[in-house]
């Protein structure tokens, strides 16, 4: 009586305990141990290439820097042309190599809300107020300015590039509750009316938002827990007008059901 065993492609125990001199299984072509920086590729000719750099076995290009969450749960910065190994920022579970699509950051001062590039209405900004997702004290606090009349409490940025009709735009921020738990992201200027979504950055809930479909309006809204009390909040919209997108971050009087770019009387000087 014979017994034939087949690999189930899983390794029990520490992957790092497998020596790189071990033969590759007959049908295997790639071995990736990102945690210990060990990479092996088997070419069709049978030749093996082993390295501690993934770029020695796989081609990768990216023309600009990128952000990602590392094994310690903090936001990291990859230089141009450097592959990104992502980790879940909460569980620290490795997620593998990020497969990227071509995108462009249209906000030149995305981490400097006090810049004159941002239009400020009814808010004050406290730069370098607290720890940001990358562990440095570079996070900004946005605070309501007290008003006796209804007014908006937003910072807005107008991009320098025209939107392309039908080409989705995503606007995202890392946000953390302070004395306010709710805020709003909005995009205007590229559809008939402003598109928005309200977020609760204490409970991780999405509140009132604009309707939409694959061809018009709000395409997607998401809120993701990234640890340290922060959430990554984003909205994606489909432009119907070839104009300059206006991106707004608004306080809402701590309401989760506010309409687009709300006006209200601020008395509590709430902040996020």
Instruction: Quick: pLDDT tens for 24-51.
Output: 676 777 777 767 777 787 777 777 788 8
Which of 27-36, 97-106, 146-155, 237-246 shows the highest mean pLDDT? 237-246
pLDDT exceeds cutoff 70 at 168: yes
Q: What is the pLDDT of residue 46?
A: 74
Among 66-70, 108-112, 157-161, which is the least confidently predicted range? 108-112
pLDDT exceeds cutoff 80 at 266: yes
pLDDT exceeds cutoff 50 at 185: yes
Q: What is the pLDDT of residue 13?
A: 45
* Between 244 and 12, residue with greater pLDDT: 244
pLDDT exceeds cutoff 60 at 3: no
Q: How confident is the model at residue 84 (pLDDT cuts 50, 70, 90)?
A: confident
Among 82-86, 149-153, 205-209, 249-253, which is the least confidently predicted range? 82-86
Looking at residues 173-192, what average pLDDT do you find? 95
pTM above 0.75, yes or no: yes
DSSP conformation letters of 107-128: -TTTT-TTSTTEEEESEEEEEE
Interacting residues of 91 by C-beta distance below 8 A, sequence separation 6+: none
Six-digit token string for 95: 């997620």
Looking at residues 177-186, what average pLDDT do you find? 95
3-state SS, residue 120: strand
pLDDT exceeds cutoff 90 at 211: no
Q: What is the pLDDT of residue 229?
A: 95
Six-digit token string for 79: 């230089």
Looking at residues 89-117, what average pLDDT do you find? 84
Q: What is the pLDDT of residue 7?
A: 39
Looking at residues 41-65, what average pLDDT do you find? 77
3-state SS, residue 223: strand
Six-digit token string for 145: 């300015």
Q: What is the pLDDT of residue 173?
A: 95
Among 32-46, 92-106, 108-122, which is the least confidently predicted range? 32-46
Q: What is the pLDDT of residue 94?
A: 85
Strands 182-188 and 246-251: what pairing?
antiparallel
Interacting residues of 213 by C-beta distance below 8 A, sequence separation 6+: 219, 238
Share of the chain above pLDDT 90, in %: 48
Strands 246-251 and 230-238: what pairing?
unpaired
């Amino acid at each position: 009586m014979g017994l034939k065993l087949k690999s189930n492609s899983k390794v029990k125990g520490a992957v790092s305990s497998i020596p790189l001199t071990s033969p590759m299984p007959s049908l295997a072509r790639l071995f990736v141990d990102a945690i210990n920086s060990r990479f092996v590729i088997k070419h069709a000719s049978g030749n093996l290439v082993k390295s501690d750099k993934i770029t020695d076995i796989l081609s990768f290009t990216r023309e600009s820097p990128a952000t990602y969450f590392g094994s310690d749960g903090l936001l990291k910065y990859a230089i141009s042309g450097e592959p990104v190994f992502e980790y879940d920022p909460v569980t620290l579970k490795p997620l593998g190599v990020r497969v990227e699509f071509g995108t462009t950051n249209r906000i030149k001062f995305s981490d400097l809300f006090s810049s004159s590039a941002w239009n400020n209405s009814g808010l004050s900004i406290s730069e370098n107020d607290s720890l940001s997702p990358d562990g440095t004290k570079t996070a900004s606090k946005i605070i309501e300015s007290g008003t006796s009349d209804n007014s908006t409490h937003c910072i807005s940025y107008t991009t320098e590039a025209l939107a392309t009709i039908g080409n989705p735009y995503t606007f995202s921020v890392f946000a953390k509750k302070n004395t306010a738990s709710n805020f709003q992201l909005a995009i205007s200027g590229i559809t008939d009316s402003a598109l928005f979504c309200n977020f609760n950055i204490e409970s991780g809930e999405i509140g009132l938002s604009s309707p939409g479909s694959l061809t018009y309006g709000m395409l997607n809204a998401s809120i993701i827990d990234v640890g340290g009390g922060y959430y990554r909040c984003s909205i994606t919209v489909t432009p119907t007008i070839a104009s300059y997108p206006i991106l707004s971050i608004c306080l809402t009087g701590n309401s989760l059901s506010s309409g687009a770019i709300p006006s209200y009387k601020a008395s509590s000087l709430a902040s996020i």
